[in-house]
Amino acid sequence: MAEIAVLGAGAWGTALAIQAARANAASVALWARDPAEAAMIAMTRENTRRLPGAILPASVAMTSSLDEALSGAELVILAIPVQHLRGLLARLPAALPPVLIAAKGVEQTTLLMPLELVASLRPQHQAIILSGPNFAHEIAAGLPAAAVVASPDTSLHQSVIARLGTPAFRLYGNLDAIGVQVGGAAKNVIAIAAGIVIGAGLGENARAALITRGLAEIGRLAAGLGGRSETVAGLSGLGDLLLTATSLASRNTSLGVALGRGQSLTEILAAREAVTEGVTTAPALLARAAAEGIELPISEAVAAILAGRLRVREAMETLLARPMRQE
């Protein structure tokens, strides 16, 4: 029996399992879909493929059985890419403890954000979103960090903070789940654009300008979907965008850099194991915004580049040719 079940043994799921143990969870179950991978991690106590160098504490049990992982759990953390959330939710039992979604993005087929997806499939479940400027390897190492847990239920905030927070991993509650989810999804798209700017040799000035205008774009989308634009000034917006768009440790930024240098999306993705969420998020986010009549010029340019409809230079020229206006 585990106090906390972490479903998804990627880098982020592994880091959250380590953090849960650090936060004094009596027992943590970390679930991997692949039995061979689960067995290897259990034997070595290290996820050498996804998070090398991070050793699992003794209180973390590795399993490939969902039943084992969920047995006795008081909190379930879903740490898998958004595009796989629907399939995993369909496999979970009808009765579940509160669910913490540790994923950022928009489902391609439905244009739903994570909590909307849970609400559509499992409306009876308590669900909350985790988002913020967090690299998995730093969380696993216990380096200082902060994040947001968001839902309209403040008691759920406090429960999750008590189970997962520590002095070095500060968690803040937020009632604006829409704004938090928009920030987490859109920052990956803006980060690809920021990487493209650097890869294309357009300079740091251009990247700073793009990140700033990208933040305004995220705020416009958050407000248009029913969130609060001021949420974007916090950890789940500005904080996450700064981290993701300024570091080559970010998969989205590094992909953008490679695109800016002239590599094709196909060859970039072929060389990667980990999911680069911004690639699937860009067109889905754009479609969601278009349905609400919200203009996202940077995201539109990124989606066009990813789809092969525009070259990098053409996209930049299009953005620079937009009409001047007051900030």
Catalytic residue positions?
Answer: 187
CA 305, 311, 312, 318 torsion-angle sign: negative
Contact call for residues 255 and 192 (beta carbons, < 8 A): yes
CA distance 21 to 11: 16
Within the chain, strands assigned E span: 4-7, 28-31, 60-63, 75-78, 99-101, 127-131, 145-150, 169-174
Tokens of 205: 């000035």
Report residue 229 CA to chain centroid gap.
Answer: 19
For residue 225, give every residue at least 6 positions away whose Cβ sits within 8 Å of its Cβ, in sequence order, or none: 178, 182, 288, 292, 294
Q: Is 131 helix (H, G, I), strand (E, B) or coil?
A: strand
CA distance 314 to 64: 47
CA distance 297 to 124: 37
